[in-house]
Structure 1
């Protein structure tokens, strides 16, 4: 019964993926960005029927599966060569973004503490996923969660368009552009999309960098939960929170990267895996497009949007400056 409930929406994702591929061949546009555009148009024109919603919601599963398979195309040698510098940029920009949002929200714009923390986690770690994870840990109100999530989605939609334009304007290399997107954009789906829209190299670096940020979510949730538990009589959260919030597909990505780097897989197998994750990404991005709803974006409060815009401009400029100096 569960499979029957999911099947109609999954079929729609498949049809959207085929259409995006076909349009890309005839129009010369990137198929991943076209996939997002198709989902966006569908949800904001005819709407998504209720019977399709469950199946279309599986797009997060396909994205995770695609990221795991993409591990086979990663050269651990090149990652280790630049990994120390990239990790330094990830930690520096993530911490800076979180602190900037907290400062602006609390001390400049007078937002409620929990609202500021939701915006900070969403902007610094992994978008709506971080907002939801932190909200549960600090017991944020539903309207605060809604505003924070809508704000993150607004900037996901903006950065999908703006980042490729800036990358082309500045003539950034694949590694620099991918790492820049991965360290400063918000949600995983848009990061992967703009990375591969630039080049395969950019897509790989964007994904690896974004996974590094995502892996910090457990620690951030633990810190926020401990902070808001002060004086409430509640016990401090267990370290188990780190594991509960850790994005498990990161482990699959790393495992496959190790296997591929060991030379276990043949060139034919690697080619098949690459083809598989490319199709999974197209499926995922059709679904991602359906989450960008104009109605929700209109409900975004002006003040949260200004806070996040300021932090995005500062953190993205910092990230790009660091990367251009280091690489």
Structure 2
């Protein structure tokens, strides 16, 4: 009996083997994420050792790149390579891969990731473009010129790196952020976001007639939530192709840069004030990092409001990915076009388990670590974890580039539907967000909140 047949029977009968917990990619991503979270937490709470991953300092603009190549730099580089190399190698061995094939390939991918982080730390590039752009660019350049060498291919594992990174990211998504901005933040972030997703879904599938539905929902999530991270989670939940992610991230990055630069200028000209302006930025600019930069351009109050709204919005990533996974599973059709009968067992089987890890990390941070150790301790832990998350994402996006050719991207862009869908969707997002921001924060309908 073929593996495919056995797999389908397992779905139909709702079989779950305990070995799935250490053999399936989703579960292994959870364990990798929680190992990193656990070690990072112990290092910060006890102060016994430094678990910080390598982070390039900004160079250029009068600061030499060579200045940061210190013994400490080398030690952190080795630590980062050792931790990620060991965990992902063990994960691959448990999945039946060979160490002698994966480990050299991982070393190659990690070297490319170091190059990406180096390029993205340059002063001018760092101000306007995220590392995700350079990771894609380096991978695409190799894939579409000299080609990906066979020895490197075993480590081109986009989903595995993404899933582990998202579990680590879950620890930074604190439910306590809701308290800081109360119903104001909930109204702006949670009311607008699902409406924009539904609007873009119907616009893409019914008006533009885009048949690639995983791409539509991935682009919609990236537009309405937080760009790259939302695209990663939703793309995995809907089983979007790597080229779908490439196009989504490319479009998101382009407009994130434009909005980060020009939205604060337009807000200042309009005279709507820091509080409303910051909330508008938080609800409409895709990237969390870009939100902080754009908010700072308006002032301290704007930055606080922007980051709070985006933080509350980020909590939705897991819920949206879960909803997308259930939706796509229950709406799949058979080859003859008839609606597939979906059981609870099948929904469970197809549900991306790493989302459970994301939620678990968030809940532990919010309701266990914060009460026991305090917010400052969690902030310190997240400072350490943030770099491991970024390294996992750089590995993922470099893999996407290596696994994508320009022809696939060109096919997605035919007729300009993808770009039109984003522009119309983002315009709708801005208008709706402004309406809700005006309702809640103009002071004409509700008392204004006090931000610390």
The TM-score normalised by the length of structure 1 is: 0.71
How far is 1:168 from its partner? 2.3
Does the 8 Å CA contact 2:130/2:253 hold for their aligned counterparts?
Answer: no
Whether 1:238 and 2:347 are equivalent positions in the alignment is no
Does the 8 Å CA contact 1:31/1:282 hold for their aligned counterparts?
Answer: no
Relative to structure 1, the CA distance from residue 207 to residue 131 in structure 2 (aligned partners, 3 Å threshold; closer, same or farther) is closer
- Specify the alignment match of 2:24 in structure 1: none
- Specify the alignment match of 1:286 in structure 2: 394
CA offsets per residue over residues 261-318 of structure 1, 9 Å max, x none?
A: 8532246632431222321233134224422369634333267663332222221111
Does the 8 Å CA contact 2:167/2:357 hold for their aligned counterparts?
Answer: yes
Matches of 1:162 and 1:212, distance apart in 2: 25
Relative to structure 1, the CA distance from residue 268 to residue 118 in structure 2 (aligned partners, 3 Å threshold; closer, same or farther) is closer
Whether 1:168 and 2:261 are equivalent positions in the alignment is yes
Does the 8 Å CA contact 2:260/2:285 hold for their aligned counterparts?
Answer: no
- Specify the alignment match of 1:75 in structure 2: 177
- Specify the alignment match of 2:327 in structure 1: 220
How far is 1:180 from its partner? 2.2
Whether 1:87 and 2:196 are equivalent positions in the alignment is no
- Specify the alignment match of 2:218 in structure 1: 122
CA offsets per residue over residues 222-250 of structure 1, 9 Å max, x none?
A: 4522xx35985665212445544253234
Does the 8 Å CA contact 2:129/2:257 hold for their aligned counterparts?
Answer: no
CA offsets per residue over residues 50-79 of structure 1, 9 Å max, x none?
A: 434444524313421331221359624136
Matches of 1:34 and 1:308, distance apart in 2: 21
3-state SS of paired residue (2:372):
coil
CA offsets per residue over residues 163-192 of structure 1, 9 Å max, x none?
A: 13213201175553343245xxxxxxxx55
User: RMSD of the TM alignment (CA)?
Assistant: 4.0
Does the 8 Å CA contact 2:260/2:290 hold for their aligned counterparts?
Answer: no
- Specify the alignment match of 1:296 in structure 2: 405
- Specify the alignment match of 2:204 in structure 1: 101
In the TM superposition, 1:17-96 aligns within 5 A as 27=123, 29-30=125-126, 33=129, 35-47=131-143, 48-55=148-155, 57=157, 58-71=160-173, 75-78=177-180, 80-81=182-183, 82-96=185-199
3-state SS of paired residue (2:419):
helix
3-state SS of paired residue (2:341):
coil
How far is 1:255 from its partner? 0.6
The TM-score normalised by the length of structure 2 is: 0.54
Whether 1:208 and 2:336 are equivalent positions in the alignment is no
Q: For structure 2, list consecutive stretches of 5 or more residues without a partner in the other structure.
A: 1-88, 94-98, 222-229, 268-276, 296-302, 438-452
CA offsets per residue over residues 89-116 of structure 1, 9 Å max, x none?
A: 122111111111111244xxxx6xxx25
- Specify the alignment match of 1:315 in structure 2: 425
Does the 8 Å CA contact 1:104/1:307 hold for their aligned counterparts?
Answer: no
Matches of 1:46 and 1:308, distance apart in 2: 25
Greater helix share, structure number: 1
Q: For structure 1, list consecutive stretches of 5 or more residues without a partner in the other structure.
A: 136-144, 183-190
How far is 1:221 from its partner? 1.2
Moved more, 57-66 or 7-16: 7-16
3-state SS of paired residue (2:373):
coil
Number of matched pairs: 299
